[in-house]
Each structure stands twice: as structure tokens, then as C-alpha cells.
């Protein structure tokens, strides 16, 4: 028997943005589709799995090194930025604000929400730009919070 639990994360958009810090992960990740689930990488090599429509396969985020060493076709070499605030799964607009700011800087982003944190996969070579944009956003929101 399972029970629903209350999520411990922050709901306030203003507080999330004003306290936003980040961690850039060192690995270069890639997105791939594995049509046959018996050929999925071992769990230790997977950052995320997502089941697409049955005819499309399973999306896998794994390291570029793993994909290349195992002959897996991939797309979107990227770096992962973890947003170090614990956001509620019910928080409204948090990722939208961050993604919109990155879009204004001409950057696509693939956000993934975990139970405790949100993670942004940004194009390889743009990670420092993304960190700067996010830091500027957080600084603006800190100033607004003090008004």
C-alpha cells in the first residue's frame, strides 16, 4: 500500500528565485533514443529514462563518453546545471521564468524536475552563459525581495 506524502519543497516563486544558486556538473551528457528496452544502458550510466510512445522508444540521457563507446547515436551534447533550491513539485512558474530568461539569451534548455531539485540541460559550450544568466536573475530577485 502506498501513501501520498507532502512534498518538502518551496512553493513561493519569489523565494525560489531570490535564493537560487546553481551547480554545474562536469559530465557532457547527450540525449538518445533506444528502441529496444533490452538494450538500455545500465542504470549507473543513465541520468534519466523516459518512455516515449511505444513506436518511438525510450529517451535516455547518458554521458557522451558512454554513448560513443557503445555506438549509440545521440543528439544535443549538453551540460547539466542543478538548481540548488528545493522546489516543490507544485511550484508554479519557476522553471518557466528560468527557461524564459535563457531563451531571451538565445539558449534552448531541456529542464528535468527531480523530487528535490530541477536540472537544466544546456547546450555544450553555453554552460557559462547559462550560469551567468541565472546568477543575474537571482540577483535581480534578491534586490526586489529587499524592497
Q: Where are the domains of the chain?
A: 13-146
In angstroms, what CA-CA distances link 80 with 119, 120, 124? 6, 6, 9
Q: Per-residue pLDDT tens, the chain, 147 aa: give them.
A: 677 777 778 999 999 999 999 999 999 999 999 998 899 999 999 999 999 987 899 999 999 999 999 999 999 999 999 999 999 988 999 999 999 999 999 999 999 999 999 999 999 999 999 999 999 999 999 998 875
User: Can you give the pTM of this predicted structure?
Assistant: 0.92
Tell me which CATH homologous superfamily contains domain 13-146.
VC0802-like (3.30.2130.10)
67: Cα separation from own chain's centroid? 19
Query: What are the cell numbers at 13?
Result: 516563486
Place of cell 544546456: 122
Neighbouring C-beta atoms of residue 133, cutoff 10 Å: 19
Residues 6+ apart with CB under 8 A from 110: 31, 76, 78, 120, 121
Amino acid at each position: 500500500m502506498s501513501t501520498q506524502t507532502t512534498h518538502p519543497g518551496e512553493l513561493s516563486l519569489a523565494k525560489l528565485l531570490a535564493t537560487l544558486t546553481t551547480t554545474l556538473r562536469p559530465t557532457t551528457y547527450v540525449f538518445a533514443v533506444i528502441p529496444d528496452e533490452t538494450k538500455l544502458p545500465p542504470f549507473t550510466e543513465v541520468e534519466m529514462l523516459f518512455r516515449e510512445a511505444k513506436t518511438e522508444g525510450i529517451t535516455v540521457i547518458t554521458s557522451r563518453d558512454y554513448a560513443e563507446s557503445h555506438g549509440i547515436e545521440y543528439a544535443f551534447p549538453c551540460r547539466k546545471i542543478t538548481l540548488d533550491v528545493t522546489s516543490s513539485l507544485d511550484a508554479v512558474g519557476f522553471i518557466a521564468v528560468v527557461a524564459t530568461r535563457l531563451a531571451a539569451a538565445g539558449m534552448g534548455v531541456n529542464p528535468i524536475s527531480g523530487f528535490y531539485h530541477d536540472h537544466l540541460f544546456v547546450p555544450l559550450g553555453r554552460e557559462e552563459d547559462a550560469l551567468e544568466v541565472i546568477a543575474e536573475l537571482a540577483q535581480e530577485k534578491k534586490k526586489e525581495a529587499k524592497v
